Chains A and B, each alone.
Chain A
C-alpha cells in the first residue's frame, strides 16, 4: 500500500519489524519462527483493534484512499458484459457520472455511478467525481431506459458533491438533482443504491433514491463534508475531526438513525486492501437484494420506497 494513514502507524511498525526479522533470519539461517508467530498474532490483533474502532474522520480518510476502487473498477469486476452509454442528449457527456447496461449472472442491470479518476490526469478528466447537470440528466435518461425495458437499476455513489461551477448553475444544477429525486421515487423498476466512497449532499442523493440504500463499511454519507461543515461553523477547516463526529456520517450511525437500509462489510482495513473480495461481496449483495425485490409486485415496492423516505426525519408534536 503506498498510502498509509497516521492511525495505521502501529500496523506499519509491526509489519516493518516482521519484515526485518524475516530478512535477518534468512541471512543468518537462525530459526526465529517463534518470534515471528508472536508478532504476526500481535499484528492481526492490532489491525482488528484499529479498524473496528475507527472515528468518523478516519472513515472519511479511508473512503478517500487513492487506491480505493471506483465505479468502473467494480463494474468490470462484477459484470460479465458491460456496455457503457454516454450523453444526456441535450448538452453533452458528463465524465463524472458513468452508466450503462451490464450483466450479472445472466441478468441485465442498469449500472450508474459517480466516477473518480485513478491518477492526476484522470482525476481532472473525471472532474474529481463532481457532476454537472448533464451527469444527473444522463443518469435519469439511463434510468428511464432501464424502466422502459424493465431492467433494475444499481447506482454506485462516490462524490465529494455536485460541481459548484458557473455553467452548472446556468444549466440548472438544482433542477437536475431535484428532477432525479422525483423521478427515482416513482421509477417502476427496483433500485439499489450503494455508497462506495463519499456520499456528499445533494450530489450523492441525486442518484441515491432506492428500495435498498446500502453503505460500504468505511464510506460516509451526509449533508456536507466535514471540512465544509467545519468552515461554516468554526470558520476554519481545523475542526474537521469534530465536524465528522457531530455529523454522524458513518455507515453505523446512518443505519442506527434508519437513514439507510444496510451496511456491506469491507475487507479488513478497507476495500483497497482487497478489491476482488470487495467486488464479490458487493455482487452477492446486489444479487440477493434483486432476487428479493424482483419477487415482489413493483407497485408495492414503489409504494414502500416512497413511504421509507417520507418517514425520515425527527419532529416533536
Chain B
C-alpha cells in the first residue's frame, strides 16, 4: 500500500501548474524523453504522439477528453476530509491535507461530475493521483457512494476512473471500510441494472483494486497501466525473485482474464459511447 509517488516514471504536473511555469509550454515524455508541446498534448488526448505513451492525467483532463464539449456539472464538490483519528506521523494529517489543497487546487483525490458522452448521460467519478497519491479515504468513498445513489436515482450509467496507490493510511480503518461501502453501493447499482464501467488507469493498486475498480460490468484500461493488488516491490520482497517483464501491466491483467479490453485514450470516448448505446437499445 504505497500511496506515495512511484519514482520510476515522472508524474505529469497538472495543467494549471504547467501554464504558470516559465518553461510550461512543453515537457518531456517520461517514456521516449521527447519534448511534447502542451497544445499537442491536448490535441492528442495526453498521449505521446511519438511513442504512444499515455501520460498520467487527472480528473480535469479526463473530463475534457470524455465529456461532450467539456461540459459537465460537478457533483458533491464541497466534501472535505475530516481527521477522525487525529493522525500524526512526522506531520499532522490536517497539515498534509492543507498542503495538498494548496499544491493541487483539489479538495481530495476524487472528483465526480454529470455530463454527456456522445450525447449519452453519464456520471464520471475520477481519481486524482496528485492528491496524496490518489489514496482512498472517507471523501473518496463518500463521493463514489453518493455518485452511485445519484446514478440510481436518475437512471444514469456510471464510469469510475481509478488511479490510486490504495488506502489512505492516515484514515486507517475508516479508509479500509470505504472498500466495503463502495462495494455495497455497487451491489445496489447492479440490482438496479444500471451499467457500471470501471476504467483502471496507471496506477491502480491496493484496496482500490480490491473493491470498486474490479467490480465493473466491464473492466477496461489504457495501454501500459500498472494494475495490481499488492505493489510490485512487496511481491518481489515476498517471493525473493525478480518479477517477469510486463508483470501487472494492463496487458498482463487482460491476458489473465480480469479486463474486458484495453483502449487507446484517443479512441476511448467513442468506444465507451458505443457501449452505452448498446446498453440502451
Contacts and interface: CB of A to CB of B under 8 A. Distances in A.
B147 to A, nearest CB: 13
Contact of A175 (B1, B174, B230, B258): B258
B82 interface: yes
B35 interface: no
Given A165-B239, A173-B210, A247-B172, A315 B138 contact: yes
A232 B186 contact: no
Nearest to B149: A310
A165 B79 CA distance: 37
Interface stretch (B38-46, B65-73, B84-92, B269-277): B84-92
Contacts of A310: 145, 181, 184-185
A182 B198 CA distance: 15
B187 A165 contact: no
B187 A186 contact: yes
Interface stretch (B13-21, B54-62, B119-127, B211-219): B211-219
By secondary structure, the A interface counts as: helix
Contacts of A316: 79-82
A29 to B, nearest CB: 58
Interface string A149-169: 000000000000011111011
B172 to A, nearest CB: 5
A201 B178 CA distance: 12
A198 to B, nearest CB: 13
Nearest to B141: A313
Interface in B1-47: 1-4
B239 A259 contact: no
B152 interface: no
Interface stretch (A139-147, A216-224, A279-287): A216-224
Interface string A186-216: 1000000000000001100110110000000
B177 interface: yes
B82 A209 contact: no
Contact of B172 (A165, A174, A248): A248
B188 interface: yes
Contacts of A178: 179, 183, 209-215
Interface residues of B, number: 68
A248 B170 CA distance: 10
A294 interface: no
B102 interface: no
B243 interface: yes
A10 interface: no
B176 A201 contact: yes
A249 interface: yes
Interface string A108-141: 0000000000000000000000000000000000
Contacts of B247: 166, 169
A177 interface: yes
B78 interface: yes
A197 B207 CA distance: 21
Interface residues of A, number: 53
Contacts of A236: none
A177 B229 contact: yes
A257 interface: yes
Given A173-B230, A224-B1, A246-B89, A182 B178 contact: no
B280 interface: no
Most buried by B among A171, A208, A249, A312: A312
Interface string A13-27: 000000000000000
A317 interface: yes
A193 to B, nearest CB: 11
Nearest to B108: A315
B201 interface: no
A166 B180 contact: no
Nearest to A220: B173
Contact of A205 (B141, B176, B209, B228): B176
A7 interface: no
A259 B243 contact: no
B234 interface: yes
Contacts of B281: none
B51 interface: no
Interface of A: 162-166, 168-175, 177-179, 181-183, 185-186, 201-202, 205-206, 208-209, 221-224, 228-229, 232-234, 246-249, 254, 257, 259, 305-306, 309-310, 312-317
Given A182-B184, A233-B89, 8 more contacts: A175-B214, A178-B211, A179-B215, A185-B184, A205-B176, A223-B173, A306-B188, A313-B138
